[in-house]
Each structure stands twice: as structure tokens, then as C-alpha cells.
Chains A and B, each alone.
Chain A
């Protein structure tokens, strides 16, 4: 009996492994994966152009008189600052779109193309299917973010040069007083950001997966995910809704930026990481519950 149980267990794990392998193949064969990488690379190019033209505009000619203190230190606009600005600007609005596209089409596109019924006839549980789809979408999010951060750092190094990461109050809203993170430590912080940012994006992944199960059209699933995300994000930026802001998951997702503060507020970071984790797993459980009872008619 024990042997039969062990065999069943091994078979389940093997099936899961096969599922993941197939989903990964689908991911790397999809044009949308490479499209998202291309768009992110184009964004980096745009940011670089913006930095150069801004500096030239603000420090040339007459402006020199008015802006003689434009850069408190020569290190201010270095490659690390460039990477920081680029990542922070794009994270909130650009990355969630690609993540939604990937996760939102997982189940809905299979349903639309008629392959979902066939997949569900195989000897795998629906829960395993959902989990594999989720894990692949999560990997996609991680790859996108890591690629984006590394690209920004490399471009920053080549075109601007690295230095220490200088932080000032105001833009980016990271600090109340001027601060600095030394270069090597700053590079570690970018590595932390890849992890914390991926964790934050998992909320969008699970929301998109839920929409993918609820709606039979991938377009509907993606649009609904982005609509919910943007609605909460925009409303959270309007002072009318200051009281509601703490209850939006978009507010909790912002925790990932805390790794760039000179002193990382670890307690706050773990708190919001757990909140985002609760959203992710809660949405995933809801997805499982709905999908296991869903009548697949296409």
C-alpha cells in the first residue's frame, strides 16, 4: 500500500513536471514574449534619450546661471540613478500590462482555440493545470523584470557610467532627506528589487489568471485585469479617496520600492509582502475553486 501511494505521488510529480515543461515551451515560442522584451528595450532607449536631452536643455546657455546647482554632486545623474528612474517609472504602468497579457491569456486562449477541453481530458488534475499556468506566468514576470533591470544597468554603465546611488527628497518619493547608497550595495538593491518587484507583480498574475478562467475570451480577461488595476491605481492617486487608499492592492504593491531606501524598513517590507502574498494566494484559490467547477463547453 505504501508502495502504491509512493508510485502515485511520483506519477503526480512527473505529470506536473511534464506540464511545466510544455507550458514553458509555449511561453518561449509565443511572439508576445519577445514583443514584451522589445517594448521594454525601446522604453530604455527612450529614457536614455530623455536623460540626455533634459541635461543638455537644463544646463546649457543661460540656464547655467539659474541652474548652477542642478546637480548637487557630479555623481547625481549616473548610470545607477538612470536605472532607478527608469525602473520606477515603468514598473507601475508598463510591466503590469505585459504580465496581464501573459497570465490573462493562459486559460482563455486555450478555451478560445478549443484546446482546453482536450487538455482537461488528460490524466492531470485541473488544479495542477492552474498551478502550472500560474508558475509559468510568474516566471514570465520574473524574466521580464530581471531583463529590464539588467538592461537598464548595462545601458547606464555603458552610456552614463556607474557611481554611488544618490537619493534626494521629492522625485521618486523614496526619502525625506538626502541619502546615499554605495555602488556595490546599490547593485545588491537592484537584485532585491527583482525579487520584491516580481512578488508584487504576482498579484496581477493571479488576478489575470482568475479573469482568464472567468472569461472565455483572452481579450476580455486582459482588459478586465488592466481595467481593475488602473481603476484602483488612478483612484488611489486622487485625494478624494485618501481614506480608501490603504485598502487597494495597488497601494500594497508599492512596497517593492522600499529596497531602494538607504535603510530598508524591513518590518514594513515584510508586512506588505505578506499582504501581497495573501492577495496572490487568495486569488489563486478562488481561481482553483471556479475552474474545478467550470463546465468547459468549447
Chain B
């Protein structure tokens, strides 16, 4: 009898302990915002469609919505991915009423392009070769600020983790070489699959490649958008904005979850930093 009483008391203690140590549920909205900082505002957005569609690149009919968001948020620079080409970029720039200049990256083996849009009319656009693909950089000065900013628009392979790694290493090597003379930011869709808990494999090369690619970036840059949460459907955080490790302060960091139109599977990530 005494044994059962002791066990019953212990059982109740365990229940009380579990309730006492239970952590409050985090709110589902994972975007975070801090005080407004107006030094530099960056936006990255993969405006293509999910892979189940016939044409997964950006659709012209969505460009007015993309332009409307850019005009509303007024970033100093925008990194876009999965455009169909220069012609589509020109349409978008027209919808932005000339407030932005832009360029697309060189065509690699694929059929889609990265682009960078910048407010600064004296911005320079720099093509970057990275592991068989091409990224695009834009060098500019935001407002009257004397800081030289270099924003790279990147899009790593969606299907091959080893290729993502090669691309990331080449991109970071290039970015590092410029980091002495400019504040370098890297924005785009890296397709890192780092949530191993949801996968059925205990360990795969793919997860390791993505882990080491991501960790390699973090040796030199900060993941500015981490607090904002998932950036694509299916609970994936695959769009990033990386910035210098020595930034003074980050302000607003937000995934704009009501911005996607059509069959887009990504949401824009917006980051404000003080240099």
C-alpha cells in the first residue's frame, strides 16, 4: 500500500513539475520589429513560383504587386531572384516610376536571372561568377551616407546541396575580397535545408553540405534575418540577408507574409540596419 501511495505522490509531483516548468507558447507570428532605423533598408524576394507550376519563373502579371510593395516599403536596394530576363526587369523598373535603377545578372546554364534594384542613380552593377552560376552585385551609397555598400543578389541551386556549397564558397570568397573597402551584404535564396528534425534520414550529405555552407557564411557575416522566421511555404527559411559582422544595430527585421501573389512560394524579407 505504501508503495502505491509513494508512486501516486511522485506521479502528482511530476505533473505539477511539468506544468510549472512549461514554457509559454511563442506567438505564431515570428516576424520581429524593433525601433525604426533609417540608415539602410534592404529587401530580398524570390518572385518565382513553386516548382509544381509550368513556368516557375516570375510572371509579368505579378509585377504590379511587386512594384507596389517596393514603393510602399522603400528599401534602399532590392535583391530579386527568378526573373525571366532584362525585358521583365525593364517592365518592373517602369512600374517603379524611375525611382530605381537595376540590372540582371549574366545568364548561366539556367533560364532565370538574379537582379538588383537600387535607388542610387550612380550605382555600379558588377557581375559575379560563382561555381558555374552568376550572381550580381550593386555598389552604391545610400542617401548622403558616405558608406560604400555592396549588395549581392544570389540564388543557389534548388536541388543539389553540393552545388549550393560550391556556389556559396565562391560567392563568399568574392564577397570577402571586397569586404575591406565596402560594407558587403549578401541577399537571396540559398535553399539551405537546415531543419534536419523534419527529415526521415538521420544524417545525409545534403544536410551536411547545407550546414557547412551556412556555417562558412557565418564565419564572416551575420544572418540578419534569422529572427524573422520562415521565408517560404512548407516552413522553410531559405531566403537570407547576410551583413557585416560588425554592424552597429539592426532595426526592423520582417518577413512580409501578405506580399506573395499568384502562386509565389516565397515571401520578401526586409531588414534595416544602422552602419
Known: A177-B223, A267-B23, A271-B22. A277 touches B10 (CB 8 A): yes
* A278–B197 CB distance below 8 A: no
* A171→B197 CA distance, assembly (Å): 9
A-B residue pair count with CB separations less than 8 angstroms: 99
* A89–B202 CB distance below 8 A: yes
Known: A69-B169, A72-B215, A89-B202. A285 touches B21 (CB 8 A): no
Known: A267-B21, A274-B17, A281-B11. A170 touches B214 (CB 8 A): yes
Point out the residue from B14, B16, B18, B207 that lies within 8 Å of A171, measured CB to CB: B207
Q: Which residues of A contact B211 (CB under 8 A)?
A: 168-171
Q: Which residues of B contact A278 (CB under 8 A)?
A: 11, 14-15, 18
* A274–B23 CB distance below 8 A: no
* A285–B11 CB distance below 8 A: yes
Known: A69-B216, A72-B215, A72-B216. A281 touches B198 (CB 8 A): no
Known: A170-B211, A270-B21. A128 touches B3 (CB 8 A): yes
* A24→B190 CA distance, assembly (Å): 56
Q: Which residues of B contact A99 (CB under 8 A)?
A: none
Q: Classify chain B's interface size.
A: 35 or more
Q: Which of A216-249 contact B (CB under 8 A)?
A: 237, 239
Q: Which residues of B contact A270 (CB under 8 A)?
A: 17, 21
* A69→B170 CA distance, assembly (Å): 11
- Quick one: closest B residue to A282, CB to CB? B11
Q: Classify chain A's interface size.
A: 35 or more
The answer, yes or no, to whether A62 is at the interface (CB within 8 Å) is no
Least CB distance from B144 to A in Å reads 35
The answer, yes or no, to whether A32 is at the interface (CB within 8 Å) is no
* B23–A268 CB distance below 8 A: yes
Interface residues of chain A: helix, strand, loop or mixed (majority): helix
The answer, yes or no, to whether B195 is at the interface (CB within 8 Å) is yes
* B208–A171 CB distance below 8 A: yes
Least CB distance from A261 to B in Å reads 14
Point out the residue from A127, A131, A173, A268 that lies within 8 Å of B195, measured CB to CB: A173
The answer, yes or no, to whether B4 is at the interface (CB within 8 Å) is yes
* A128→B197 CA distance, assembly (Å): 41
Known: A172-B196, A173-B196. A277 touches B203 (CB 8 A): no
The answer, yes or no, to whether A70 is at the interface (CB within 8 Å) is yes
- Quick one: closest A residue to B223, CB to CB? A177
* B3–A131 CB distance below 8 A: yes
10 pairs of A and B residues whose beta carbons are closest in the complex? A170-B211, A274-B17, A271-B21, A274-B18, A278-B14, A277-B14, A173-B196, A270-B21, A281-B11, A173-B197
What are 16 A-B pairs at a CB distance below 8 A? A72-B212, A72-B216, A72-B219, A85-B203, A125-B3, A170-B214, A171-B203, A173-B195, A271-B18, A271-B22, A274-B17, A275-B14, A275-B18, A277-B14, A285-B11, A288-B7
